[in-house]
Amino acid sequence: MSQNSASAVDDARRDAVRTFLEAHKDEFVAQLSEWIRIPSVWTDPERRDDVQRSAEWFAAAARATGFPTVEIWPASDGAPTVFAEWPSDNPNAPTVVVYGHHDVQPVDPVEQWSFAPFEPAVVEGPDGDRLLGRGASDDKGMVLYHLFGLRANLAASGRTSPPVHLKLLIEGEEESGSPAFPELLRAKRDRLGCDVIVVSDNGHYAAGVITTCVRMRGLTDCQIDLHGPDVDLHSGSFGGSVPNPLTVLTHLLAGLHDANNHITLEGFYDDVAPLTDVERDLIARLPFDDAQWLETAESRATFGEAGYTTLERIWARPTCEIHGVWGGYMGPGHKTIVPTDAHAKVSFRLVANQQPLDVQAALHAYIAANVPDGITAKVEFFGDGVRPYLVPIDDPTVQALVRALGRAYDDEVLFTGEGGSGPEADIAEILQAPLIFLGAGLPTDRVHAPDEHAVISVLLKGAETAAYLWDELAALPSV
């Protein structure tokens, strides 16, 4: 989408921001390298002290940047979140919470790395110099650039406080699924009041294709257990005359989709926000090739809900997948029984505005209505599920971000979605504010994988975008 109103950042301001960041590039790399050397793997109980040290490292960096309030908040399981706050001297400025995380993924299998994960180094890559190391991209690089973006903003404007009331919220257990983080958010809600949340923990669609994410799918998953006869029965003496739980299970699972791959659960699509023509057109403008994508997927064919493209299916449509089915005799040779039990693991990816608990109720109702006499069924969901998230592309905060990205990259800005699921919907719900994504990763960064790295110039573009975004948000009539 092209910018539909003038940027609040003029050319002189932009030059000054760029000059600042160019002059401080080595300092940025040196600081990020120091932080990467702290192996903050919260998942590993042996590394918990390192995660604490990582929190203290960032807290010190935020203080050195000028944040007058910096605190470390332990969650109930001990994972340290860093909170930093710097009010604007403009009392009417909007309040922004920047969310990121300072814990990192484990490095296993460490033998697959071509360098030591916690000994950062700069090497040349196809997109420019790269900083190697676990967390270089996800998420220490993207958190640290906020400090440099803010410094660039202040240096270029001559201000002594940010143009927005700025709060940083950098959690310590994101790579473990943030088990205690929502509870911490609720407990600290009075400190976290805001008009907009900026998430920096993702990236662009591709090198040279500037995007921001506007939707994430939700998730709910379960195990289904069916029980038939109390003992395995001879299929000659009993088969065809008592219900077979595996046959029933396969019928139930097959019945979850119709011939067009629509999901059949009652009311399943009632709350699904339909894709607009504008959104479909914007998705279609991203460079995407089914054949190339199939190579990555190592699959021979695309498949899915009729009437939608692959990207639309992944980002904007709900799905149901069967992950495993087992029961009865699974050993070598033959054993002709009617088995006692049948099991399956099933999940649903959800899109706005579906609610995981509604989908759970619909599956319970479907199973209850379709299990014959003689079979007992148990459906157990793993928790309450993750809600989907969507921010409209015409939301003023999204448009402010589009202007900031457009200024930083001198390029058109497009929109992506995220097929996976994260805590974003919960954060937006608890803090009652729209949430936008300012990331500066590339899909080639190998996040979560061996040989993670970040392209230094791309991280600095993240800093530059942040430097503009605060001015763009401050210029909105009201957020």
Residues that bind Zn ion (CB under 5 A): 138-139, 201
Q: How far is the CB of 389 from Zn ion (least distance, A)?
A: 16
206 DSSP 8-state letter: B
Q: How far is the CB of 202 from Zn ion (least distance, A)?
A: 8
- Sole residue written with tokens 């157990």: 380
Strand, helix or coil at 304? coil
Q: How far is the CB of 269 from Zn ion (least distance, A)?
A: 31
Environment class of residue 467 by beta-carbon count within 10 Å: exposed (0-12), middle (13-18) or buried (19+)?
A: buried
Strand, helix or coil at 166? strand
∠ CA(310), CA(313), CA(319), 5° rounding?
135
Q: How far from 332 is each of 206, 233, 335, CA to CA, in Å?
A: 47, 18, 9
Nearer Cβ to Zn ion, position 171 or 472? 171
The answer for residues whose C-beta is within 8 angstroms of residue 278's C-beta and 6 or more apart is 393
The answer for residues whose C-beta is within 8 angstroms of residue 479's C-beta and 6 or more apart is 94, 195, 196, 396, 397, 473
- From CA 425, how far away is CA 435, in angstroms rounded? 8
- From CA 8, how far away is CA 404, in angstroms rounded? 9
Nearer Cβ to Zn ion, position 171 or 464? 171
Q: How far is the CB of 100 from Zn ion (least distance, A)?
A: 8
The answer for 385, left when phi > 0, alpha when psi is -120 to 50, beta otherwise, is left
Nearer Cβ to Zn ion, position 103 or 312? 103
Nearer Cβ to Zn ion, position 139 or 195? 139
- Give the pair of three-digit tokens for residue 452: 């993670």
Nearer Cβ to Zn ion, position 195 or 201? 201
Q: How far is the CB of 172 from Zn ion (least distance, A)?
A: 12
The answer for residues whose C-beta is within 8 angstroms of residue 398's C-beta and 6 or more apart is 212, 214, 391, 392, 434, 436
Q: How far is the CB of 81 from Zn ion (least distance, A)?
A: 14
Q: How far is the CB of 420 from Zn ion (least distance, A)?
A: 11
User: Which amino acid is located at 34 in the chain?
Assistant: E
Q: How far is the CB of 46 from Zn ion (least distance, A)?
A: 21
Q: How far is the CB of 198 from Zn ion (least distance, A)?
A: 14
What stretch of H or E contains 27?
Answer: helix 25-36
Nearer Cβ to Zn ion, position 216 or 363? 216
- Give the pair of three-digit tokens for residue 372: 């014959």
Nearer Cβ to Zn ion, position 418 or 464? 418
User: Which amino acid is located at 161 in the chain?
Assistant: S
The answer for residues whose C-beta is within 8 angstroms of residue 48's C-beta and 6 or more apart is 42, 78
Q: How far is the CB of 292 from Zn ion (least distance, A)?
A: 25
Nearer Cβ to Zn ion, position 197 or 342? 197
Nearer Cβ to Zn ion, position 148 or 437? 437
Nearer Cβ to Zn ion, position 136 or 249? 136
